[in-house]
Amino acid sequence: MEKPSAQLAKVKSETLGLTHLALRVHTDTEYDLRDSLITLASPESVDRTMVSAAQIEETIREISLLHKAGLYLKELSYPGLTSLEVWAEWAHQLDPGKRRTAVMASPGSSTANPHWQTLLSSKWEYTGERIVQWETPIPPNEGHEMLAKMSTTFPEATMYHAGQSYLGKDIWAMDLMPEISQTHWSHMKASAFKPTVIYSARQHANEVSSTSHVLRHAELILTDPKQRSKLNKVNVVIHPFTNPDGAQIAYDLHQITPDYILHAGYLGSLGRDATSGGDADHPIYPESKVRGELWETWLPDIFLNPHGYPSHQVVQLFSEYTGLVRQGRVTERNWGFNKGWFMPGFSFIDSPDFPRHKDAAFLIRDHITSKINSNRDVFDLNQRMYARYRRYGADHDPDVFRLPMTDSVLIQMPLKGSNGSSSGSRGYNPRVTIWSGTTEAPDETAYGPYMELVAKAGLSWDEAILDYLYQGNHQIERSGSKFFGGVSLRMKRPRPPKSPINENDQ
């Protein structure tokens, strides 16, 4: 069955969210023809292929009965929604004459998402103290409490429920923008008028520093007037836990064996990566869809995915653990040597279809290396680790151990850029997202002064990306045309931003 499409939405003054929603479902027939169709094909093929309007109508009726019985209350249920209307149509175009309509009353009354204010003590007050600590790895409950403290204190911070993990942990995200006074506003317009960056951390949850530096970056944006002013030109989205189940396991193990790599927290709760199946309609990991949903909501210019290391690849090679050995990637042994903070795959697009993407990627790279090197502690850490990696690896086996340096920072880059056609396979369409980056920090598992050191590196990267977007020449192009009885207005923002010198570039 095709995915339903939203056709009608109603809002009410002074009421958050939608009050009524109409969805259109395209069906193959009006009536249930299963009995006749199974004479032409197997029952399994018919059930998998053909959908009738009568089936949709009956399904909605059955779900309504289940709701009344207190069962499956989250299915087809949205907070605040008083009625849900489903149009089951068997014509290719909208046609009320070829439609069956099913209505669910009060589908949102029983399943409101948890509110972030429940994460805070009613007695908590902000008195100017630092909110984000860099002493220990941050577990989900503590990290989400930090988001709540920022959201209740600063009008620029808006926290919201983004999903739930396989083990039932709530997943939260936070938008940073100038204060919004309206009850209803458009993500689409917000992203059209200003660039957006998403910081999505802790996919491999025993790689602990990414949550720390992403949350600290949010705090600095909100508390430093100079940083906060950048929100006038850039939207910032904070997603601190991609894998909350793994983050909790890693934290629990850290309480027992803080100096171990805590590999049980690396993957999701079923022993597969927490992003596995994220493209499926109903993945086994519900948390795997959160990143894609954030992307679809915000259509960001840049999407960031910070990671960490150092030794799980070597453990896998010699402990008969899993995938990398089975895949034959024996060169993964180079991960056994710390090589400081680095970027494992700085990709870029070089194509006439995207003529400004390559220059934009290299400018982003320059921002990154400059910011990393401006932090003396991080620079010294990197040089020590690069030298050690060279001494024990690169000087003896250059086919496996390589140090491709850019401005004294290890950045592994392809020999040439891609044409951009494969970049959209993960959902991050290059016509929308001009660059998506991943980093590695030797943080598995960091705490104390060392946590602060590796988190500083990640923070420098966070700030470099924000600076790039803030300094860009983001011009809105407007056009319009008349038609009988009205006008059409169009607004777009070229991505990447055009250079002021080359305004005629396409």
Which pLDDT score is estimated for 444?
86
**For residues 290 and 239, is the Cβ–Cβ distance under 8 A?**
yes
Rg value, the chain, Cα: 25
**For residues 133 and 143, is the Cβ–Cβ distance under 8 A?**
no
Question: Counting beta carbons within 10 angstroms of the beta carbon of residue 161, is it exposed (0 to 12), middle (13 to 18) or buried (19 or more)?
Answer: middle
**For residues 267 and 397, is the Cβ–Cβ distance under 8 A?**
no
**What CA–CA distance (Å, rounded) separates 133 from 118?**
21
**For residues 497 and 474, is the Cβ–Cβ distance under 8 A?**
yes
Q: Is 21 helix (H, G, I), strand (E, B) or coil?
A: strand
To which H or E segment does residue 190 belong?
helix 187-193
The low-confidence residues of the chain, meaning pLDDT below 70, are: 107-113, 311-333, 422-427, 500-506
Number of continuous H segments (helices) and E segments (strands) in the chain: 14, 15
For 70-100, give one letter per residue: b (16+ CB within 10 A) or e.
eeeeeebbebebbbbbbbbbbeeeeeeebbb
Which pLDDT score is estimated for 424?
46
Which pLDDT score is estimated for 316?
56
pLDDT digits (tens, 9 = 90+) for 343-366: 998 999 999 999 999 999 999 999
pLDDT digits (tens, 9 = 90+) for 14-58: 777 788 999 999 999 999 999 999 999 999 999 989 999 999 999
- DSSP-derived secondary structure for 433-444: --EEEEEB-B-T
User: Hey, what are 379's tokens?
Assistant: 């620079």
* Domain boundaries for CATH 3.40.630.10 within the chain: 116-378+408-471
Which pLDDT score is estimated for 321?
53
DSSP letter assigned to residue 178: S
pTM, full prediction? 0.85
**What CA–CA distance (Å, rounded) separates 386 from 43?**
62
Residue labelled with tokens 């250059």 = 398
**What CA–CA distance (Å, rounded) separates 460 from 456?**
6
- DSSP-derived secondary structure for 363-409: HHHHHHHHHHHHSHHHHHHHHHHHHHHIIIIITT-TTT----EETTE
Question: 427: closest CA among 307, 335, 299, 330?
Answer: 299
Q: Is 316 helix (H, G, I), strand (E, B) or coil?
A: helix
User: Would you state the torsion angle of the CA atoms of residues 114, 117, 121, 123, taken in this order, to the nearest 10 degrees?
Assistant: -150
Which pLDDT score is estimated for 505?
43
Give Cα separations from 443 to 96, 202, 252, 269 (angstroms): 59, 12, 17, 21
Fold that domain 116-378+408-471 belongs to in CATH: Aminopeptidase (3.40.630)
DSSP letter assigned to residue 222: H
Question: 404: closest CA among 369, 454, 432?
Answer: 369
- DSSP-derived secondary structure for 69-107: TT-STTTT--TT--EEEEEEE-SSS--GGGEEEEEEEST
Pairing, β 157-164 against β 99-105: unpaired
pLDDT digits (tens, 9 = 90+) for 218-254: 999 999 999 999 999 999 999 999 999 999 999 999 9
Question: 366: closest CA among 332, 408, 312?
Answer: 408
Residue labelled with tokens 């927290």 = 265
Measured at the CA of 211, the angle between CA 210 and CA 216, to 5 degrees, comes to 100
Residue 477 CA, chain-centre distance (Å), reads: 28
DSSP letter assigned to residue 137: P
**For residues 434 and 494, is the Cβ–Cβ distance under 8 A?**
no
**What CA–CA distance (Å, rounded) separates 160 from 144?**
10
**What CA–CA distance (Å, rounded) separates 90 from 52?**
8
Question: 240: closest CA among 206, 200, 283?
Answer: 200
Which pLDDT score is estimated for 108?
59
Give Cα separations from 93 to 97, 111, 395, 440 (angstroms): 11, 33, 66, 49
**What CA–CA distance (Å, rounded) separates 31 from 364?**
56
**For residues 327 and 321, is the Cβ–Cβ distance under 8 A?**
no
